[in-house]
Chains A and B, each alone.
Chain A
């Protein structure tokens, strides 16, 4: 019974990591990336807790006049506490950066923000960007977007 519950937790932890990492890699919205990061970190933390967990044990608190019973390994728990704190700090920093990006570039779209960033770096460095598929020679007119073409 307990091993089955453990298996559920393991699957949950790995699932959270996969969802989170997938979210970071696949999503274009900056805010969603931060959320995905939070999910991935939760998965990693859960996995660390599970590394030292025992189902038949008590919390690792030793008080006077008490017989030592089987205890949960306290080391991963201490580590996870640290990792959670670090995670919160990094996520808060990420959110302040998201706010700044939105203020400066007016977008939460990673691809757009990245294009504008590269254009800005190119402009400060005084380099003309290389020609590519998206930027054909001679600036052919691109087809008008489907919606809002009549206004």
Chain B
């Protein structure tokens, strides 16, 4: 009985606290000495599945490549956003609840916006791989960082690169017909082109704008209309499937414009190249890309070739890799997995040994890398070469595009 009365509430509390400390100790030690847990959110199913899976390839090969470059270990916690904003939000919350110390993703502006809200609320750093909508980094967020150009940056560079190419080729179209998808992305690009183009004094006029449904099964009518305008070149904002459909229709309807100037995805993607073979050669895409002359670009290209020999390095791999590079670099400097310390370290990022064109990775006060540059790339024999800007080019432009009936 006497022994029993010795167990006071104070002693019980002290004992419980000691036990908790003892049990929690290994966890704390592990967090300090272990790998950084990075939650990777990508649309690996749904409408954007093929692009999400392509980004995932970039994420998967980053782990060993970053380690070989001397960066500390990172562990990927992968989550599928199912191309759905609400799913993206709940998956981000779950990843954080499961112990993710930093988030990376999510290819799409809508999904990235939802994840950014969660990350800011929970105080977990979020490094965006691909998303171009300007408002994401205009909200005053402290934990959101983007190493990807905004839509106005993409368009400005596109027109600057076009002028550089026209000068190099000694020729330019006088008229273009502008075809674009009528989804959020396509309409935003249409608005952006209308606003940005006049500032660049381009040598051509847009003779007609033709919008179409990105899920269209047949684009024969749309292309017949474009051909009937008599424009010298085709300017286009498309997705993958419609890029293939438009090319097929150009061949079938026997129309070979002087150039195809693509201001979005589709025309440079692996599936486009594989599906169309020699008919894929020629189009110019003005996109966020990589500088083929940088040392790390060659290393990333080699790592991808080893893991996926039949896939060309592209935007999806490059910017997913760089998002993880930012994470690993911050972890190395912060020497901690504390979210605030990681966010402070990301804010102080200054990486010059990188892949994307431009001086390197550095974030402004809003968390945006505003020094990024875009490239002009051209399809050549199933491969992609960079033709502008000159500082990040590895080939000269082929102009005009070889007619489809002469291939």
A and B assemble together: no
Give me the interface of A with B, judged by CB distance under 8 Å: none
Give me the interface of B with A, judged by CB distance under 8 Å: none
